[in-house]
Structure 1
C-alpha cells in the first residue's frame, strides 16, 4: 500500500496532514499544506499546517486562516491594512509593512492625521508626513526613506533632481537606479546621467546604459556599455545595435541560442544547430518518476550532488524521464548546446499554436510534469491554482500532463483572443493580462531606432522581462522543428 501511495501521490486521496508532514520541507510540501489549510474544517489543524510551512506567505496563508477564526482575521487585517478598517487594528502592526505606500497615498487627510499622531518615529511616520503635506522633496535626503519610496512607490510625485547620490551608493544602489529607469521619473533619470559611471559595477552600469539610451544620449550610452566588463550576448547585441560589426560577429560565433544570437543568425542567414532526440530507451525503469512531485524533489537533490552527470543521464534514458535527462545533459554539456526536446504533449494542425505551446512549456517547466513553483504554479504549463479553479478543474490533477496542457492551451487561446501579439501573450502568461494592459502594452513601442528591443529591456518586472525574450526565441525554434521556417524573430518583432 505504501508503494502504491508513492506511485500515485496525494492528489488521488483526501489530504492527510500526517502523511504530508512525512515529506521533507519544500515548496511541494508547502503546496499540499496550503491545500490542506483550504480543505480542513479544523482551525487547530489548519494552524498546525501553517506552523509547518517551509516558506510562509502572509497574504496567502493568513488569508486562509482568517476564514477559519476571528483571531486570525484580526492578524490578517494587520498584514493587509485597508482604509476601511485602519482604526480597528493595532497600530504596531503597521510597522511591519502592513500598510503599503500605495494604500497610504489613497487615504483621506483625517486618516493620515490619525496615523501620524499614533505612529512612533520612523520611516513609516515620515512617509505619512509626506502624503499628509503632499511634500516629497525631503525623501531622498534619508537613505531608508528614499529606498522605501523608490522601491515601493516609484510614482511621479517623488520625481526630483538629485544632486548628490552618495547617500545611496551602496550594495542596493542598483535597485535605486533600476527602478528610476523603469518608471516615469525623468528628473531622477536626468540626475543619473551626471554620475561617473566608471565607479560602479556591471549591474549598475547596465541600467545607466539603458537610462542614457532611453533619454537619447547615444554618446553616453556607448561609453557606459563599453565599460561593462562581462560581455554577455545581451551586451554584444547592444554593441552591434550601436554600430559595432565585430560584436555582430561575436554573436554569430556563439553556439548557444537565445533571442540575441537568434536575431543575429537570422540577419546573417545562418542556420542554428539544435538537438531534439536524446532518448534511446536503454532503461526500462528510470530512477525517478517525473510525474510524481516527491520523486522530482529527490531528483533535484541528487542532481545538485552528482559529479558524473553523463552517467546520471544514462540512468534516466527513458521516454518516462525525458525531461529529467534533458536537464542533466544540458548541465553536463555546460550549456554549450541547444537541447530542445519534443515530448509528445500536444498535437495541433496549427503549427504556430503548437510551437507557442511548446515554447511556453519549455520555459515554464522544461517539460517536467510534476513541477511545483515557489508560488505553487503547477505542472508542465505551470498554471496557478486560482486559474485552475476558474477553469473548473482540480489542482491535484495537474501532474497529469494531458489535463495540464489542456488548461494551458485553453488559457493561451484566450490570451491570443485578447492580445493577438505572441510577445504580449508571453508577457501575459507570466505576469497576467492586467499587468500587460497596465504596465506593458501601452508603453511598448515597435517603431523607433532601437525598437522593440529597448521596450523589451524596459518591461517592469525582471522575471517577465526575461521570460518574454526566452518564450519568443523558443517559439521560433519550435516552429522550425515542427516544419514552419516562415516564423522568424524579424517578422514577429516587426509591426
Structure 2
C-alpha cells in the first residue's frame, strides 16, 4: 500500500468517525459556524445566519471574519446590521463620500476611491488626491491618467493591466465617450500581446457587445498573436462578422494550436471547417476523444463512430449505505480536500473501491476520473429508479443538466449558494415546493438527490413550456429565464437566413458562463438520448432555434 494511500485511508477514517455522526444544525449560531471547516459550505450557512433578522451585529461581525469568499452579497447583509463605524474597514471606506475619504489613510482610500469620479474632480480635490496616493504607484498612475485631458491616449501608452483596470472602473457612459474611438490597430496589438488576463477579459466583453462599435472595429486587422486562446478565437469571430474570412481563419488556427482546453480546441477546429469547408478538418474533428457538440457534429456529418469513451456505471456496487453521509456538504468538502492530497494514480485507482456503493456512484466516478487523468467521459444516471420519468427526453435533459451542474454530487454548494445535484437556488426552493404541493421542505432537502432530481425536473418543465428547445432551456436554467428573454427580445441572435447560424449566435451569447453551459448541456443531452435509445440529429435540433 502506498504512503499516500495509507495517509488518505487514515484521513477518511477520521472523517467518517468524527464528522459522520454530526447532523447539520437546525438552528445556526456562532458555535455551529466555528465548529465547521472553512469553505463554501460554511459560507452558505454564514449567509443564512447573516440573513436572519435576529442575528446581532456582534455575532454578525464574528461570522463575517469566518467567511472563505467575501462577496458583495455577504457584505451587503453585514452593512444592514449596524452603523458604518462598527463595520470592517473595507466596508466603512467603501461607503465614504469623497471629501471624507480624503481625510483617511492610503489603505482606506484604496478601498473607497471610485476611479470614475476622477475626471470630474475639481483642481483642488485632484491635487489633494494626488498627494495622498503618491506612495501607491499603481493607484497614482491611474489617477494621473484619469486626470489627463487625453485619457484614452494615456491609457494606450500604459500597460494592458492598467488599461483594463481603468476601463472596468468607468461608467458605461464614460466608456462610450472615452473608449469608443477609432484606434490604430497596432496600438491594440501591442497591449493585447501582453496577454494580461484583465485586458483579455475586456476584449472578450467588447467583442460580444455592440456598445463600443468604433473600438471593436479598431480590432480588425490588428493581427494579434499572443493573447489567450479564447480571445484569439473571439477575434476570429469579430473578423468573420466583418467578412474578413482570411483573418478569421488565421485567428481560429492560432486559437486551436495554442489551446490546451479540449472544447476550445474543437471549437476552433470546427470553425475552420465551417468557414473553409475543408473536409480534412472535419475528419480530424471526428477523431477527437472529447465529447462536445463539435465532435458530435463531425461524427454525425461523416456517419462515423465517435472516438470518445463513455462510462455509464460501475459494477459491482453494494446496496448498503456508504460509510459517510452523502447529503452532508461539510463531509463532502473535507472528503474532497483529502482526496486532492493523493496524486498517485495507482493509489487513487485502489481507493475507488472505498466508494463502491449505489448511493456513492458519483463519488466513485470523481475518484476514478482523477485516477484515469480525465481520459473517460462519465454519463451516469444515479437514482433513476427512484423517479417516474414522463419520457426519455425528460430523463435525458434532467441528467444532462445534473451532469453539468454537479457531476451528480448530492451535497455540492456553488459560489452563489446553489444547492445539491441540480444546483437549485435557495430563493427558488419555497416557491417550487409550493407549486409541487410539498410541505416542510428545507434548504437542506436539496442535498437529498431524489428530492433534488424532482425539483430540477419540475423547473425544467416550467422552462420548456416557454423556451421549447433544450439549448434555450439550458441557457435559462443557468442564466435565469429573465436573462434569456432579454437576450432573445433584442432579435440579434438566432436569425434565420443569416450566414453561419445558429452556430454564430451560440458563440455570441453575452453571458460567458451561460454560453459555455448551453454548449455542454446540449452535448450531454444528445449523448443521454442515445444511451436511452433515441438518436438525435444535432443539425435538425439546432434549426429549431432559429427565428425570423
TM-score range, shorter chain: 0.7 to 0.9
- What's the TM-score once normalised by structure 1's chain length? 0.84
Q: Is structure 2 residue 530 aligned with structure 1 residue 491?
A: no
User: Which of 474, 485, 490 is the aligned partner of 2:524?
Assistant: 474
The partner residue of 1:50 within 64, 67, 86 is 64
Distance 1:285 1:406, change over 3 A: closer
Which residue is 1:433 aligned to? 481
Name the stretch that deviates more: 141-150 or 369-378.
141-150
- Report Cα offsets for 1:243-264 as digits up to 9, x if no partner: 2222211221123311111111
After superposition, residues 152-301 of structure 1 pair within 5 angstroms as 156-157=176-177, 158-163=179-184, 164-165=187-188, 166=190, 169-172=193-196, 173-184=199-210, 185-198=212-225, 200=227, 202-228=229-255, 229-230=257-258, 232-242=265-275, 243-272=277-306, 274-282=310-318, 284=320, 286=322, 288-301=324-337
Quick check: 1:79–1:94 contact (8 Å CA) kept in 2? yes
| Conserved 8 A contact 1:79-1:99 | no
Structure 1 Cα separation of the partners of residues 355 and 418 of structure 2: 25
Inter-partner Cα distance in structure 2 for 1:79 and 1:358: 46
CA shift, 1:344, in A, is 1.8
**2-structure distance, mates of 1:142, 1:96:** 26
Written as runs of structure 1 = structure 2, the 5 A alignment for 1:258-407 is: 258-272=292-306, 274-282=310-318, 284=320, 286=322, 288-306=324-342, 307=344, 308-345=347-384, 346-391=387-432, 393-407=441-455
The yes-or-no answer on 1:120 pairing with 2:133 is no
What TM-score do you get using the length of structure 2 for normalisation?
A: 0.76
CA deviations on 1:148-172 (whole Å, 9 max, x unpaired) are 4544656644321111233564232
1:184-212 residue CA offsets vs partner (Å, 9 max, x unmatched): 13322222123233455534422322221
Partner of 2:10: none
Question: Would the aligned equivalents of 1:78 and 1:89 in 2 still touch at CA under 8 Å?
Answer: no
| Among 451, 457, 460, the residue aligned to 2:510 | 460
| Distance in 2 (alpha carbons) for counterparts of 1:30 and 1:423 | 32
Structure 1 residues 126 and 422: alpha-carbon distance in aligned structure 2, compared to 1, 3 A threshold: farther
Using a 3 Å threshold, how does the CA distance of structure 1 residues 127 and 371 change in structure 2: closer, same or farther?
farther
Deviations 1:273-297 (A, max 9, x none): 6331224115845454322212211
- How much does 1:94 deviate? 7.8
What SS class does the counterpart of residue 493 from structure 1 fall into? helix
Aligned partners of 1:415 and 1:433 also within 8 Å: yes
Corresponding residue of 1:6:
20
CA distance in structure 2 between the aligned counterparts of 1:315 and 1:283, rounded to whole angstroms:
14
Contact 1:248/1:264 (8 A) holds in 2:
yes
Partners of 1:403 and 1:4 lie apart in 2 by 27
Structure 2 gap segments, 5+ residues each: 1-15, 131-139, 260-264, 434-440
* Residues 353 and 397 of structure 1, relative CA distance in 2, 3 Å threshold: same
Give the structure 1 partner of residue 74 of structure 2.
Answer: 61
CA separation in 1, counterparts of 2:527 and 2:164? Answer: 41
Once residues 481 and 144 of structure 2 are traced to their aligned partners in structure 1, the CA distance between those partners, rounded to angstroms, is 35
Judged with a 3 Å threshold, the aligned counterparts in structure 2 of structure 1 residues 136 and 389 are, in CA distance, closer, same or farther, namely farther
8 Å CA contact retained: 1:115, 1:125: no
RMSD between aligned residues: 3.5
85-94 or 440-449: bigger deviation: 85-94
Distance 1:141 1:321, change over 3 A: same
- Rounded Cα–Cα distance in structure 1 between residues aligned with 2:331 and 2:226: 48
Partner of 2:500: 450
Distance 1:284 1:411, change over 3 A: closer
1:11-48 CA deviation, whole Å, 9 max, x = no partner? 5x212322332222111111122222223432211211
The more displaced of 404-413 and 363-372 is 404-413
Q: Distance in 2 between matches of 1:100 and 1:55?
A: 24
Per the alignment, do residues 317 and 437 of structure 1 end up closer, same or farther by CA in structure 2, a change over 3 Å counting?
same
Total equivalences in the alignment: 478
Contact kept, 8 Å, 2:192 with 2:226, in 1: the verdict is no
